[in-house]
Structures are given as C-alpha cells and as structure tokens.
Amino acid sequence: MIAVAQRSFAVLALVAAVIAVVVTVLLVRRRVPVWLRDEVALPLATAIAVVATGGSLLLSEVAGYVPCELCWYQRIAMYPLTVVLGVAAWHRDDRAYRVVTPLAGFGSVIAVWHIAIERNPSLGGVCDPAAPCSLRWVEEFGFLTLPTMALIAFLAITALTLAARRPS
C-alpha cells in the first residue's frame, strides 16, 4: 500500500513539475491566460499544497518514516500554505503571493540543501540514529526523493501564485 502511495505521489510530482515549467514560461512571456489567472491558479496551488501535506503526514504517521530536522523545516513552510492558499482561493485573493512566496522560498532553499545532503552524505557528516537527513526513504524513478518532491511542490505553488496576480 505504501509503495503504491509513493509511486502515486511521484507521478503527481512529475505532473507538478510540468505545471511549474509551463506556468513559469507563461509568466516570463507575460502570456498567462485569464482562465488560468482567475479560476485555476489558486485552486491548483491549494491542491498541490494539500497533496504535499497529506503525503508527508501519510508517510510519517502511517508508513513510519521518521522526519529529520530538515524535513521539519520544509513542513513548517508547506503546512501553512494549505490554509493560506485555501483561503486565498476561496476569496479569489490575488495578493496571496505576498505570504506564499516567502514561505515557499524558504521551503525551497531547505529542500535544495536537503537534496544536496542526500546526494553527498559527507555534507551531512554522520547519521543520527533517530532520523538522519541523508537517508532516502523514498527514491522513485531513480531521482524523486522526498525533498525533491517537496522542492517541485514549492516551485509549482510559487509559479501558480504569481500567475494568479491580476494586473494593477
């Protein structure tokens, strides 16, 4: 059951990566369609935050994967996004980026450092017996670890929240 959940989250992370890239291109080219800006961006960002939060809780509380220190910092950034984005989507508040981008930016920086430690364990030094950050609990398709999926989620959420801004 956990293997199925892990693979499903990995597939969703790939979908989120595609969303992040496409939306970033649209932002750079200033061609965000109105339907995306007004109706899809914030609900989709909320859905990504909810799936990421639910996934992290499932893997720690059901699968028993003990979160390491860096996992906790990423959780601190991700969990509030479900509420912030949910409220913003409900009220169609295009100013959500003011809160979301700092939180997602902080989470992204931590996720990048976490990925670096996973790829090069000597950066992390030693293995804390309880919860070492270099431990790869999940590695789907050969590269999708938990902080990699978190990074993709943070980037997709940031892009979507910026895309939701209306011209002033």
Partner 1 sequence: MPMTTPGSRDRVRAEERRRRWIFAAVGVGVIAIAVVIGVLSAAETGSALSVADVAGDPTIEGEALSTAPEDPGADPEAGSPSPVVRGTDFDGREVTIGEPGGAQLVMFMASWCPACQEELPEVVDWIDAGGLPEGVEVVSVATLHDDTRPNWPPQEWFEREGFEGPVLVDDAGSSVAEAFGLRATPYWVAIDEEGMVAARVTGMLGAEQLDALVDRVQGAS
Positions that interact with partner 1 (CB under 8 A)? 3-12, 15, 35, 39-40, 43-44, 47, 51, 64-65, 118, 121-122, 124-129, 132, 134-137, 139
CA distance 3 to 138: 9
Nearer to partner 1, 64 or 142 (CB): 64
Q: How far apart are CA 165 and CA 89, in angstroms?
A: 12
Nearer residue to partner 1 within complex by CB, 105 or 132: 132
Tokens representing residue 59 in the block = 């893997």
* CB 162 to partner 1: min, Å: 19
C-alpha distances (whole Å) from 71 to each of 10, 107, 120 are 17, 10, 17
CB of 102 to partner 1, least distance (A): 26
Least distance (Å) between residue 137 CB and partner 1: 7
CB of 88 to partner 1, least distance (A): 16
C-alpha closest to that of 12 among 41, 55, 43, 42: 55
